């Protein structure tokens, strides 16, 4: 047996000083040689723990083997067999806590870069094969009508699987493009929109009917869909309602929810204003409140818009940051300033209602709380003021109540999430399933995809007995 | 694409668009709004519905040329299309039988007040409407609002038509008079709504206003449209657009409406430069 190779092949990236001024993708992806070199490091172990680590059970060793052998069409086919959105997953999945962490080489620090390989194969397919791998599969005999609400990661995955099972699937999307958070939330430099559109187009090419500009709960209710011939409904409407802090001055001009800031930039292309009509305020001193991936995305967007100083203001310390380490490092390299153990007390405005400063508390960490992280405690008398002209609040989101409010018989929690069976996503309402952030609260793209996949299987099983 | 079935010029800078949107037409109710986007580079703007025709599958909106988007919309005519049309959004105006209701329409808001007045009248209310505009040239839908109401008072700021007064004058007289006014619904420019609310406040008459902050998605996703009502932050797109006028923090609304004044000017100048070159 060949000697184990523990040297992960680095993926080229744009240099920090260059990328901080453009919206092009930061990570440039492997070349074929790099991808094959990395693929060769996979020892094709007999137990393939990576597969179990993947929420959608991608056949990881198999596609890596095909890639290693230079059979790229086969690698793409294997990958797409389980995952309709590989270009997206290869970029934004936290592989370090899923497939890669359980790689047998991980114990020795040399886990295979599965995410990078997935990205390589997906990009190769997009560049070389277009949609030619696909044959529409909708409308098999015995297929039923299914409605999928929301075209984010959960909905796209559920729709793709349901149509592959042979059902007729209509995917309802409230916004003017499909993709949900992949389109409005995650910035171009981390997840290019043509990659998302390509994978949305792939799902459409399978035969899924995507209806844009359709706000379910307003245009049509779940009960009307069920009366109108849909035999099952999957709710994948995510967690789209931004949380604010409820502190004084929060409605000053220049204070954004991360959702608004990112939607203006990513969905509405405000970074190209005035070529595009939607503006966004460009700050000199920008504070982003929060420490998750959305906070990192917001900070890095603000930097690219031309802000002089961008702060991440986080009430705990570096060790507790919920963002992916890779994204924290990217942000640090680009010059984002981290202010740990800091929490806003109030925002201060000028006579025109513009935010000009933020009064903060210093914090210290106490005993661990129910999340297992050390609880941040205010240091009394520690107030200090920061000059800021744009503030972005990235403290998380909760489900939009629109569907729960307009659907009788759906059970929700105190946090506004929909109650559904953990594995299959069945809600307490007849013929209605739910999955993704609407059930879990804000989580990851891949966990939503896993929920969509499991719900699709359960819906199929239910429908086949009808 | 959503086809413009009819474009009609009502008064200078104010146009009616009847847009093909059969599903929205089935669901729209008085007081709700839709969000449009003209083309790929356009912004999303909310417009309150002025009418809908389920049979024809159309929704009517009336818009006044203010910024880039409304001016670009004004360049479109019957047979043209817009890229996005989303709705119906927001909570419909609450319609119930109360007795006497006063509807105040300021300027082009007559287009959105008319269906509300009609629904109130159909619900059995005595509806007294006040239609106000700066001058005679800006008055439209007088007959439509008259037929949707039991009584109509017309005012102009300069006295060129109807009574020379601001809408708040006849409003105050109605509240002082013999009519037992149970509710006032005031829709128009924000400043007019504020003063209508100030006028009714001493009389303790419930006053409903329809707020028009800046919006992006219109579905509760971004919080751009947040306002303060009774000390609580509300999202106009999902909690409104109708609110109790006595509880609204008007100064905050005015200030937030001005967030992008500089950018709006820049956008308009760029567009006008292109349009004229």
Burial classification of residue B100, based on how many CB atoms lie within 10 Å of its CB (0-12 exposed, 13-18 middle, 19 or more buried): middle
Cα(A307)–Cα(A324) distance, integer angstroms: 23
pLDDT tens across A155-166, in order?
Answer: 999 999 999 999
Residue with tokens 């809408």: B167
Burial classification of residue B178, based on how many CB atoms lie within 10 Å of its CB (0-12 exposed, 13-18 middle, 19 or more buried): exposed
Q: What is the reported pLDDT for A133?
A: 55
Token pair, residue A95, equals 């592989």
Token pair, residue A399, equals 């489900």
Best mutation site among B1, B22, B36, B43 for testing chain A: the one with the most A CBs within 10 Å?
B43
Q: Which of A218, A257, A353 sits opposite B252 (nearest CB)?
A: A353
| Percentage of residues in chain A having pLDDT higher than 90 | 85
Q: Inspect the interface and report whether the beta carbons of A174 and B259 lie closer than 8 Å.
A: no
Q: What is the reported pLDDT for B272?
A: 85
Contact between A75 and A121 under an 8 Å Cβ cutoff? The reply is yes
Q: Which of A242, A279, A353 sits opposite B267 (nearest CB)?
A: A279
Burial classification of residue A287, based on how many CB atoms lie within 10 Å of its CB (0-12 exposed, 13-18 middle, 19 or more buried): buried
Cα(A176)–Cα(A31) distance, integer angstroms: 34
Q: Which helix H or strand E contains A52, and what residues bound it? A: helix A49-53
**A–B: how many Cβ contacts below 8 A?**
117
CA nearest neighbour of A302 among A247, A274, A262: A262
CA nearest neighbour of B91 among B208, B237, B223: B237
Give me the DSSP letters along A161-194: HHHHTT-EEEEE-SSSSS-THHHHTS-TTTS-HH
ipTM score of the complex?
0.95
Going by the DSSP 8-state scheme, the letter that residue A341 receives in this structure is S
Contacts of A212 in chain B (CB under 8 A): 84
The three-state secondary structure class of B119 is helix
Strand partners, A289: A313, A393
Taking a contact as any Cβ pair under 8 Å apart, which residues of chain A between 214 and 233 contact chain B?
214-215, 218-220
Contact between B78 and B14 under an 8 Å Cβ cutoff? The reply is no
CA nearest neighbour of A36 among A9, A14, A59: A9
Is A240 an 8 Å CB contact of chain B?
A: yes
Q: What is the reported pLDDT for A304?
A: 95
Confidence check: pLDDT of A137 > 70: no
Q: Which helix H or strand E contains B244, and what residues bound it? A: strand B242-244
Q: Inspect the interface and report whether the beta carbons of A257 and B263 lie closer than 8 Å.
A: no
Q: Inspect the interface and report whether the beta carbons of B252 and A251 lie closer than 8 Å.
A: yes
Confidence check: pLDDT of A30 > 60: yes
pTM of the prediction? Answer: 0.94
Contact between A433 and A458 under an 8 Å Cβ cutoff? The reply is yes
Alpha carbon A254 to chain centroid, angstroms: 25
Strand partners, A426: A433
Q: Nearest CA to CA, how far is B267 from chain A (Å)?
A: 6
Q: What is the reported pLDDT for A2?
A: 61
The three-state secondary structure class of A443 is coil
Contact between A182 and A89 under an 8 Å Cβ cutoff? The reply is no
Confidence check: pLDDT of A141 > 80: no
- Could you give all domains of chain B from N- to C-terminal order, each with its CATH number? 2-89 (2.40.30.10), 91-210 (3.40.50.80), 211-262 (no CATH)
Contacts of A269 in chain B (CB under 8 A): 41
- pLDDT tens series, chain B, 277 aa: 999 999 999 999 999 999 999 999 999 999 999 999 999 999 999 999 999 999 999 999 999 999 999 999 999 999 999 999 999 999 999 999 999 999 999 999 999 999 999 999 999 999 999 999 999 999 999 999 999 999 999 999 999 999 999 999 999 999 999 999 999 999 999 999 999 999 999 999 999 999 999 999 999 999 999 999 999 999 999 999 999 999 999 999 999 999 999 999 999 999 888 876 5
């Amino acid at each position: 047996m060949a000697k184990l190779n523990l040297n992960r092949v680095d993926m080229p990236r744009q240099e920090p000083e260059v990328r901080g001024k453009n919206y092009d993708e930061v990570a440039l992806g492997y070349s074929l040689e790099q991808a094959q070199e990395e693929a060769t490091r996979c020892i094709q172990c007999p137990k393939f723990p990576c597969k179990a680590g993947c929420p959608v059970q991608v056949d990881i060793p198999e596609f890596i083997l095909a890639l290693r052998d230079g059979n790229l069409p086969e690698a793409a086919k294997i990958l797409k067999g389980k995952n309709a959105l590989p270009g997206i997953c290869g970029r934004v999945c936290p592989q370090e806590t899923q497939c890669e962490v359980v790689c047998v080489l991980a114990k020795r620090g040399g886990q295979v870069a599965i995410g990078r390989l997935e990205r390589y194969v997906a990009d190769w397919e997009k560049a070389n094969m277009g949609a030619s791998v696909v044959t529409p599969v909708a409308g098999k005999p015995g297929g039923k009508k299914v409605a999928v609400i929301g075209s984010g990661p959960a909905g796209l995955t559920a729709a793709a699987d349901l149509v592959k099972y042979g059902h007729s699937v209509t995917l309802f999307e409230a916004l003017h493009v499909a993709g949900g958070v992949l389109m409005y939330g995650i910035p171009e430099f981390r997840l290019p929109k043509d990659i998302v559109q390509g994978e949305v187009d792939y799902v459409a090419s399978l035969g899924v009917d995507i209806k844009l500009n359709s706000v379910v709960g307003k245009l049509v209710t779940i009960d009307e869909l069920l009366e109108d011939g849909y035999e099952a409904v999957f709710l994948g409407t995510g967690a789209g309602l931004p949380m604010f802090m409820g502190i004084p001055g929060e409605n000053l001009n220049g204070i954004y929810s991360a959702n608004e800031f990112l939607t203006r930039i990513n969905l509405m292309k405000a970074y190209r204003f005035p070529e595009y009509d939607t503006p966004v305020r460009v700050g000199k001193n920008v504070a982003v409140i929060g420490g998750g991936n959305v906070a990192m995305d917001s900070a890095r967007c603000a930097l690219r818009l031309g802000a002089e100083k961008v702060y991440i203001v986080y009430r705990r310390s570096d060790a507790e940051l919920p963002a992916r380490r890779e994204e924290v490092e990217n942000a640090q390299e680009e010059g984002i300033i981290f202010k740990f153990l800091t929490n806003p007390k109030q925002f201060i405005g000028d006579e025109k209602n513009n935010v000009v400063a933020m009064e903060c508390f210093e914090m210290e960490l106490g005993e661990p709380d129910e999340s297992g992280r050390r609880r941040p405690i205010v240091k009394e008398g520690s107030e200090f003021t920061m000059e800021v002209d744009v503030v972005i609040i990235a403290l998380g989101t909760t489900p939009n109540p629109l569907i729960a409010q307009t659907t009788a018989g759906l059970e929700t929690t105190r946090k506004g999430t929909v109650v559904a069976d953990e594995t299959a996503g069945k809600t307490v309402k007849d013929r209605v399933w739910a999955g993704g952030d609407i059930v879990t609260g804000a989580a990851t793209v891949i966990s939503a995809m896993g929920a969509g996949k499991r719900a699709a299987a359960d819906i199929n099983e239910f429908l086949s007995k009808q | 694409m959503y086809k413009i079935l009819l474009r009609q010029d009502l008064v200078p800078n104010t146009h009616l668009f009847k847009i093909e949107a059969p599903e929205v037409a089935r669901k729209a109710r008085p007081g709700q709004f839709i969000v449009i986007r003209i083309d790929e580079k356009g912004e999303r703007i909310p417009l309150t519905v002025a009418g809908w025709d389920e049979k024809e599958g159309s929704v009517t909106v009336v818009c006044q040329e203010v910024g880039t988007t409304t001016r670009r919309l004004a360049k479109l005519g019957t047979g043209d299309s817009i890229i996005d049309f989303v709705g119906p959004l927001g909570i419909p105006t609450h319609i119930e039988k109360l007795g006497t209701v006063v509807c105040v329409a300021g300027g082009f808001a007559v287009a959105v007040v008319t269906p509300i007045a009609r629904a109130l009248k159909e619900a059995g209310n005595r509806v007294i409407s006040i239609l106000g505009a700066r001058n005679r040239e800006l008055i439209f839908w007088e007959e439509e609002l008259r037929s949707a109401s039991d009584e109509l008072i017309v005012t102009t700021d300069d006295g060129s038509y109807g009574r020379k007064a601001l809408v708040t004058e006849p409003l105050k007289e109605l509240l002082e008079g013999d009519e037992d006014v149970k509710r006032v619904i005031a829709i128009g420019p924000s400043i007019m709504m504020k003063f209508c609310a100030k006028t009714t406040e001493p009389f303790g008459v419930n006053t409903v206003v329809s707020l028009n902050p800046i919006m992006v998605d219109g579905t509760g996703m971004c919080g751009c449209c947040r306002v303060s009502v009774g000390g609580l932050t509300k999202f106009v797109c999902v909690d409104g657009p109708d609110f109790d006028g006595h509880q609204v923090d008007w100064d905050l609304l005015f200030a937030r409406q001005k967030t992008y004044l500089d950018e709006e000017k820049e956008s308009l100048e760029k567009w006008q430069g292109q349009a004229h070159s």
